[in-house]
Chains A and B, each alone.
Chain A
Amino acid sequence: MDSSVPPPVLNSPPSKARRYGAQRGVKVFLLWLSVALGAVALSVLLVLAILALAGYPALGILHRWIIGAAGNRFNCAASVADACPLLLTGLAAGVAFRSGVLNIGAQGQFLLGALAGVALTTRFILPGPPWLVMAVAIAAASVAGGLWAVLASVLERYRGVPIVLSTILLNFVALYLVRAALHGPLQAADTSAPQSPQLKVIYWLPILIRNTDFHLGIPLAFAVALALALVLGRTNFGFELLITGLNPRVANLVGVPVARRQLAIMFLSGCCAGLGGAVQVLGVTHFMLGNFGNYGYTGIAVALLGRLNPIGIAVAAVFFGMLDTGSRFVEESSLALPHQMANVVKGVIILAMLVASAWMMRRSRSPVPETSENPTSRDPQQVES
């Protein structure tokens, strides 16, 4: 191997989009759909088989799971509400992965977004009508998430810290920042736990369908997915983001401002995650705890299942939301099985999908060995100038 070729930092971009499954065409889509359904069936069967072996009524559990996920108007709305944060963190991961940027930090960006949202609706309420306060809180949350992501981008650009690493570490920094804030300035008066006070009802996102959990944030999240689908798929800017990730050298040669676009990818990605945090606080929980879910990490899986396509991510998120809502229903029912079993299903689905998509890719491309895709450095110094 020629020693003048710079070594790759944890990955090689040229194959990135293909590795994460960015393929087009109706045939590919249908094949994918059947693979996805197969993976779902396989994983559900596996979990039910385990439960049956342990002596639980598998069919009864499946029945309750389905009822809980989509049995009536209320459960359907609950599933979509559960999908909402996953959709936004999934979009965060999807935007970045699609361009070959390994942003594992949606968790931290989500948390900071939620923190900004809760701060601007409990302690630091701007004068103005409630809708304006909520709009400002949501916008600030997106920016907070975006800036937290940009921090990782800056660390890579100027200090050479790989994004996959800095985003993991920044997740923990964000976690403890949030806990410090919830123990300090944002703490509710009547508790010693790291917990914010409850939002006033006027600052709750309005419920659009009476007697359900269907809040305004849900159509907002789907609108973001649609907008991203249009921007990424149909505009020059979206195309520039894509080739910046696929091959920074080529992007540079055709006149794309690579450094600025790399920042833009991370900012956009972080914005989605931050928005998710705010929507979750204002729409669902109405207060914030020191332990605020694992939506960021699950978002990576959602993005993969949705093939990094915003519309696909929306479908995947709704499915994961149904898994969660259904499993909570099972937990609350007389069977009282822990809701973590939804995670087993999710994990198996992703692994099965990975194997299937790797197999599909090998079939659909010419037999070029991986090594011929010459590893190109994503080191920004190489593509600058």
Chain B
Amino acid sequence: MNISGESLGTFLARQTVQAATPLVMAGLGELVAELTGVINIGIEGLMLMGCIAGYAAAGISGSGQMGLAAAILTAMGTAAIFAGVTIWAAADQIVAGAAVNILAVGASGLAWFFYQTTRQAAHQSVSLGPQVGFQSVALPWLSRVPFFGPVLFDQYMLFYAAVILALLVWLLVHHTRTGAILRALGDAPEACQAAGISVRTWRTAAVLFAGACAGAAGAYLSIMRTHAFASDMTGGQGFVVLSLVIFGRWTIPGLVAGCLLFGGINSLQQTLQTTRYTSHSTFMHALQHIPFEFFQMLPYVVALLALATLSRSSPGPRYLGQAWKQ
């Protein structure tokens, strides 16, 4: 980790934004799905499918864009299975989500194996070439602004996409008729039904959107922020997304704040882990005596404490987790 070129504050802020980006991306999709009344704990699996599909497609085609498209499509396909089971067959969403997670571990493991063996058989490199994965995109002018430049205007493409998407979803949910329908689907599906709105079709669309978002977030992990795949590379981030949506009380500002908080604590703990042995400050030396696992634990503890102390002003979509039977 090279932090010589920039101040620690800039470095931390940049890392925070990078860690928060996939969480925001996947969280926006999950938020929309939950507003319509569908909770998908399989989002971890969808992200994992995005990771492997993005990596393998980028490796085979030699193009990062192809990887991103494949990641989005694969995760949408997996989300379509989930939608079919939970919305059209009206099965339990929690168990179906758990099944999607198990399925994704298996499918990504098999796909990774096939990818490796076929590449090796063709005497091609398993890892991505330097030009294949995405690099960060520095916006002209803006990226030279001190602090804000490197933090906000020299990021990966998906960061800008996430910012735009967050604004769009916010506008959609709060200022359009579509948004009113989306929220009604979770709060009063019978009213939607009475108004001639197909609950199942709309919910399916929301779940597919969530799948696309999770796939893009997965691709961010495997072909943008790092150019690598590992068998459990999401490492529970999907579950974190799930809790951040509820943590943010199903609001977009709340979700983004939660993601930044989580990403901030996470990059702080990573930086502490790597710099505390080399730093000369007494504060860093004092931290050496704390096992680094406690820093890794910190985001989850903070999320729990925040949930336990915040008021329950918004209990969330009324029919969250319930199947709609026509």
Interface residues of A (CB under 8 A from B): 1, 7-12, 19-20, 50, 54, 102, 104, 155, 159-162, 164-166, 168-173, 176-177, 179-180, 183-184, 294, 297-298, 300-301, 304, 337-338, 340-348, 350-351, 354-355, 357-359, 362, 369-371, 375
Contacts and interface: CB of A to CB of B under 8 A. Distances in A.
A247 to B, nearest CB: 16
B177 interface: no
Interface stretch (B12-20, B123-131, B159-167, B292-300): B292-300
Given A104-B41, A170-B304, A177-B297, A350 B105 contact: no
Q: Which 8 A-B pairs have the closest CB atoms?
A: A347-B103, A340-B109, A343-B106, A344-B106, A180-B293, A354-B91, A350-B99, A176-B297
A20 B322 CA distance: 13
Given A166-B307, A169-B304, A358-B89, A301 B95 contact: yes
Contacts of B236: 172
B325 A369 contact: yes
B109 A338 contact: yes
B85 A159 contact: no
Interface in B174-196: 188-190
A8 B307 contact: no
Contacts of A355: 84-85, 89, 91
14 contacts: A7-B315, A50-B110, A155-B307, A171-B239, A172-B236, A301-B98, A340-B105, A340-B113, A341-B109, A343-B109, A344-B107, A347-B100, A350-B99, A354-B92
Nearest to A290: B293
Contacts of B261: none
Given A166-B307, A341-B109, A369-B325, A354 B102 contact: no
Contacts, number: 179
Given A10-B39, A168-B242, A19 B297 contact: no
Contact of A165 (B103, B243, B297): B243
Contacts of A171: 239
Q: What size tier do the contact residues of chain B reach?
A: 35 or more
B98 A300 contact: yes
Nearest to B324: A370
Contacts of A169: 239, 243, 300, 303-304, 307
A86 B50 CA distance: 28
Given A50-B110, A104-B94, A346-B102, A10 B320 contact: yes
A10 to B, nearest CB: 5
Given A102-B94, A346-B103, 5 more contacts: A173-B297, A183-B291, A355-B91, A358-B89, A370-B322
B269 to A, nearest CB: 10
A298 B320 CA distance: 24
Interface of B: 39, 41, 81, 84-85, 89-92, 94-96, 98-110, 112-114, 188-190, 231, 236, 239, 242-243, 246, 291, 293-294, 296-297, 300-301, 303-304, 307-309, 312, 315-316, 318-325
Contact of A354 (B99, B309, B322): B99
B325 A20 contact: no
B103 A351 contact: yes
B83 to A, nearest CB: 12
Given A7-B315, A8-B319, A346-B102, A159 B308 contact: yes
A173 B99 contact: no
A80 B307 CA distance: 40
A343 B301 contact: no
B252 to A, nearest CB: 19
B326 to A, nearest CB: 8
Contacts of A173: 297, 300-301, 304
B294 A176 contact: yes
A146 to B, nearest CB: 19
A166 B304 contact: yes
Contacts of A371: 189-190
A351 B103 CA distance: 9
A344 B103 contact: yes
A354 to B, nearest CB: 4
Contacts of A161: 304, 307-308
Nearest to A303: B95
A347 to B, nearest CB: 3
Nearest to B190: A371
Contacts of B99: 301, 346-347, 350-351, 354
B247 to A, nearest CB: 8
A298 B100 CA distance: 11
Contacts of B190: 1, 371
Contact of B102 (A159, A168, A177, A347): A347
A362 B324 CA distance: 13
A359 B89 CA distance: 7
B308 A354 contact: no
Contact of A358 (B90, B94, B322, B324): B90
B300 A172 contact: yes
Contacts of B96: 350-351, 354
A165 B246 contact: yes
B293 A340 contact: no
B102 A184 contact: no
Contacts of B291: 180, 183-184
A354 B85 contact: yes
Nearest to A9: B315
A347 B104 contact: yes
Given A180-B294, A350-B99, A354-B91, A8 B110 contact: no
A359 B112 CA distance: 35
Given A104-B94, A370-B323, A343 B103 contact: yes
